[in-house]
Amino acid sequence: MSHGDAGPDDPMALNPVKARLARGEIALGLTVRLTRSAEIARLARATGHDFLRIDAQHASFNVETIAGIAQSALACGVAALVRVRGVDDPDVGRLLDAGTSGIVFPDVQTAEQAQRAVAAARFPPRGTRSFGGGYPQFDYRSVGSADAMPILDEGTLVVCMVESREGIGNVAEIAAVDGVDVVHVGMNDLLASLGKPGRFDDPELAAALERTVSAASAHGVFVGCGGTPSVEVQADVVRRGVRLLTTRADVDFMLDAASRWVTDLRHELAVDPPRAVPT
């Protein structure tokens, strides 16, 4: 079903990732750091990804660029999530108005911070998001606030990242906040917080993930994960209960594929060198 078919009785049509999670399926996301073109949404779909995670925390995106990518994502059935700079990022409302499917809030350490994240991303009574009207999710058709607000709210994914010792310690309270959909373990920053950067096989990291899965299950929310170094680690965290997983960033895929191709080509030419060109 396309986004244009969404109506008051089918809000999940606006967000294919929320629909996948509700069905108990795994949602895979491509992190966008380098690409500024809207075509990245179609490349994500072609490569089997279900969503984009546009990294406005670590990359230099403006709202207009993100809006263009989100429009393309809406049209091809890929959810566009944006990792913002923090729970108090002033652009949250504008990003959602531009057609993004959800917000990823980094480094949430307390329930109070999770409440601020929910407030920024959701309409009253759970939040303070302002109603603007003329939303791309409805192809800019006029939809009254009484109908539009619950549809948009249900179609918005609120993701709280726990990536510190304090965040993991408070993960049960964070997961309990009404309006949070996903508690997402940021493994790289969490390992740095634990004083163990790069040690993905450390038992303390496994215990943190287990604690997060337990807390999420108890409160009816999902577990996400990012920063994992390999397919094997990603498969392992999914087996442990992760349902929203970012694979790699666009720049990483590009570097790896291009490097492997050039290396293979040079190897072939070394094995069977080209004949000299007559002069």
Residues 6+ apart with CB under 8 A from 166: 109, 110
Long-range contacts of 224-231 (CB under 8 A, 24+ apart): 224/159, 224/161, 224/182, 224/183, 224/184, 224/185, 225/184, 225/185, 225/187, 226/31, 226/53, 226/161, 226/184, 226/185, 226/186, 226/187, 227/186, 227/187, 227/188, 227/189, 227/190, 228/187, 228/200, 229/200
The active-site residue out of 3, 58, 219, 267 is 58
Residue 49 known to be catalytic: no
Distance CA 231, CA 121 (A): 32
Q: Which residues are catalytic?
A: 58
